[in-house]
Amino acid sequence: MTSKKFEIGYGNVKKVIIGSNSPLVFIGGPCAIESREHALFMAVAIKNVCEKLEIPFIFKSCYDKDCRSSIESFHGVGIDEGLDILSEVRHKLKIPVVSDFSDPAWAKETAEVCDLIQIPAYLCRQTSILRAAAETGRPIHLKKGQFMSPWNMRNSVKKIEKFGNEKIILTDRGTFFGYNSLINDFRSLTIMADTGYPVCYDATHSIQNPTSMGNISGGERRFIPSLVRAAAAAGIDALFMEVHDEPPQALSDPNTQIYLSDIEMVLAQAKAFHELNQKLRSTWGEDNVK
Amino acid sequence: MLNDLAKIYSIDVKDFPVVKENDILKLSLELMSKYRIGISVICNDLNEIQSIFTDGDFRRLILRNQKPLPALLVTEMKNISNKDFLSVNTDTTVLQAIQIMTKNKILNLPVLEGNKLIGILNLERVINFLIDNE
């Protein structure tokens, strides 16, 4: 079935259309804003790849990392500096940006800068968070919690709709598979699409082994390309990946962020499978298997 | 009494389950339990009937269902309700309605005015009336 379609972007950034038969959207960037220089460098680099491949792009990077495994881990540059940096990225590069927020009180300020507002996976059911995001009026990037069944995401969607917002992207970032492990169940993409909203695959968190290394999460990047191809073949409206020039040196998610040097290869294949999927749908119609 | 209009003995719309097509199965089941009746009716915003869902439909659904129960409970009525249903209109007599119900082995008949739902004729209630007036 074809999903709702809406636009992401305000002001004079290059707006992105998502949903229905639109081109595959890429949402990506370093997990955390590490510094102004690094954020700008990464945004330029990823933008260049996306322009080369003609893939609509939304830059993602977070100003606060509340869900780190360890108290010793980097917590983020903070909302003020972070939003200032994202604002600079928007203005200099004319691209839409997204960040998440973990405190309802931060939603308004976050939405003043961000074109898309993200809800952390662990908070995907919290009414106060969903309400705060909905009331900003911005499109919402809602990550399905690792603990949630895909059909139960309907409840979070209903909460957001009740609070007056109907621009939602539902993202699968893997599901708990026993302790410290995630499984990718691509039925979730079909089940979440039943809500009528666009769906997205988070390829870097999906290969994560949550807190598998005692006080930090592990992960195996080598699974990213095949899982991305599979997701795009299954049917997604957007792909999400955290990208870093030197992941082992990254201040967060060093084991899951994908190397900048690898994204062109992955994005090109994602786009190819997305376009093939669309071509097959126009030949064979929407899936209607009894 | 058998020649009276069926609509006189029907249960009023506010006293039995009426849901929207986007409402979930769980709501229908809760309302059917609340009103102690084996049918829920799916109507649009104008109270026009779209489909029905009965205890029999639920039994048949369970037998063919493959989804986990938590997923089944949040399935929207439009995906599982019965668009192929019998109904009577405001001119139907009680006798005619009973004949339809016994011939088709059904216990509840929506009573319609045009396409609008105005009531449900429930066989158990009709039998009670008949016995009371015997």
| Average pLDDT score, chain A | 97
Whether residue A149 and residue B71 make contact (CB cut-off 8 A), yes or no, is yes
**Residue-level pLDDT at A1:** 55
Q: Which of A209, A203, A207 is nearest to A266 (CA)?
A: A203
Inform me whether the pLDDT recorded for B100 exceeds 90. yes
A147 touching B, CB under 8 A?
Answer: no
What residue of A is the nearest CA neighbor of B79? A194
Inform me whether the pLDDT recorded for B4 exceeds 60. yes
- Taking CA atoms, A235 is separated from A184, A200, A273, B42, in Å, by 14, 9, 9, 32
How many Cβ atoms sit within 10 Å of the Cβ of residue B119? 23
Contacts of B68 in chain A (CB under 8 A): 149
Whether residue A191 and residue B70 make contact (CB cut-off 8 A), yes or no, is no
Q: How far is B24 from chain A (nearest CA, A)?
A: 11
Q: How far is B80 from chain A (nearest CA, A)?
A: 13
Angle subtended by helix axes A263-284 and A36-53, to nearest 10: 40
- Which three-class secondary structure state does DSSP give residue A12? coil
| Average pLDDT score, chain B | 95
Contacts of A155 in chain B (CB under 8 A): 74
Percent of chain A with pLDDT over 70: 100
* B45 token code pair: 């915003």
Instruction: Give burial (CB, 10 Å; 0-12/13-18/19+) of A105.
Output: exposed
- CB within 8 Å of chain B, chain A residues 183-202: 191
**Residue-level pLDDT at B114:** 96
Residues B92-113: what's their mean pLDDT?
A: 95
DSSP H or E segment with residue A269: helix A263-284
Inform me whether the pLDDT recorded for A162 exceeds 60. yes
**Residue-level pLDDT at A109:** 98
Q: How far apart are CA A103 and CA A93, in angstroms?
A: 28
Q: How far is A151 from chain B (nearest CA, A)?
A: 6
The separation between CA A286 and the C-alpha centre of its own chain, rounded to angstroms, equals: 25
**Residue-level pLDDT at A257:** 98
Q: Tell me, what's the ipTM?
A: 0.79
Q: How far is A89 from chain B (nearest CA, A)?
A: 41
Q: Which of B23, B24, B73, B74 to mutate to test the interface with A (most CBs of A within 10 A)?
A: B74
Identity of the amino acid at A237: D
**Residue-level pLDDT at A60:** 98
Q: Note the pTM of the prediction, 2 decimals.
A: 0.91
**Residue-level pLDDT at A290:** 83
**Residue-level pLDDT at B1:** 79
pLDDT tens-digit map of B9-52: 999 999 999 999 999 999 999 999 999 999 999 999 999 999 99
A149 touching B, CB under 8 A?
Answer: yes
**Residue-level pLDDT at A122:** 97
Inform me whether the pLDDT recorded for B133 exceeds 90. no
- Evaluate whether B87 touches B52 at the Cβ level (below 8 Å): no
pLDDT tens-digit map of A101-138: 999 999 999 999 999 999 999 999 999 999 999 999 99
Residues A209-214: what's their mean pLDDT?
A: 94
Enter the DSSP assignment of A238.
Answer: E
Residues B96-104: what's their mean pLDDT?
A: 95
Q: How far is A194 from chain B (nearest CA, A)?
A: 10
Inform me whether the pLDDT recorded for B120 exceeds 60. yes
Phi, psi of B114 (to 5 degrees): 70, -120
A1 touching B, CB under 8 A?
Answer: no
